């Protein structure tokens, strides 16, 4: 399933994630946290650049743009304590990351499939979450609603790759999209409803897994098709 390079990277990646999680909850290690948090996405960018040779230029560009916007979002959210404007800017950065992923996933859309059932489930989940959060959103009500719509679209386009790419690539990307939804949902509840115990750990752990799975899933398209 994993090449030697991917296995070695996976060990390194989760060491970085572990350092980030530990430093994020340890006051005396905040300097380490400021390095480890962006290192999560930066390491994925290095892996992708090194191993994405057979992929088409548009696929490479969209994936790298998604990771660059994610990195920007990570950095901006580190300064939320200084100003709430950093949260809004971080939200915009991650929204753009999701847009890049949507465009990327649409390149392998199965045009013969329209997942009514899956979309209904997503809408029920989103409507329930939004109703749960709306009283605490205030001025962020519309931006959060737009963000939720975009991430639902991202998850839907990940689902639409079914039977259009090899099963390994599809499964990794789709699972990554679901982990992204979980991470963002925990973040939203923690910020706009009430604090969640160990939220920093659960948000970053699910986020790191999401990005790892999506990037690996895109790379695994190489397994059966080197011309995409």
What's the token pair of residue 173? 């990307």
State the pTM of this model: 0.94
Q: What is the pLDDT of residues 3-12, one digit of tens each?
A: 899 999 999 9
Q: What is the pLDDT of residues 54-111, one digit of tens each?
A: 899 999 999 999 999 999 999 999 998 888 899 999 999 999 999 999 999 999 999 8
Q: What is the pLDDT of residues 111-137, one digit of tens each?
A: 888 888 999 999 999 999 999 999 999
């Amino acid at each position: 399933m994993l090449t030697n390079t991917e296995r070695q990277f996976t060990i390194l990646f989760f060491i970085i994630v572990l350092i980030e999680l530990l430093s994020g909850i340890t006051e005396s290690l905040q300097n380490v946290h400021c390095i480890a948090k962006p290192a999560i996405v930066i390491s994925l960018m290095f892996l992708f650049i090194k191993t994405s040779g057979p992929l088409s230029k548009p696929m490479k560009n969209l994936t790298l743009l998604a990771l660059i916007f994610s990195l920007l979002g990570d950095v901006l959210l580190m300064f939320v304590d200084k100003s709430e404007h950093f949260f809004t800017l971080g939200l915009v950065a991650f929204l753009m990351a999701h847009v890049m992923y949507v465009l990327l996933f649409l390149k392998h859309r199965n045009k013969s499939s329209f997942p009514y059932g899956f979309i209904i489930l997503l809408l029920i989940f989103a409507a329930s979450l939004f109703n749960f959060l709306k009283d605490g959103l205030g001025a962020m009500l519309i931006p959060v609603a737009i963000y939720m719509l975009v991430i639902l679209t991202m998850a839907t386009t990940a689902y639409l790759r079914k039977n259009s790419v090899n099963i390994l690539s599809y499964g990794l990307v789709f699972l990554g999209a679901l982990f992204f939804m979980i991470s963002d949902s925990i973040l939203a509840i923690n910020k706009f409803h009430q604090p969640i115990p160990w939220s920093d750990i659960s948000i970053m752990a699910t986020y790191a897994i999401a990005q790892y799975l999506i990037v690996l899933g895109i790379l695994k398209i190489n397994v059966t098709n080197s011309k995409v």
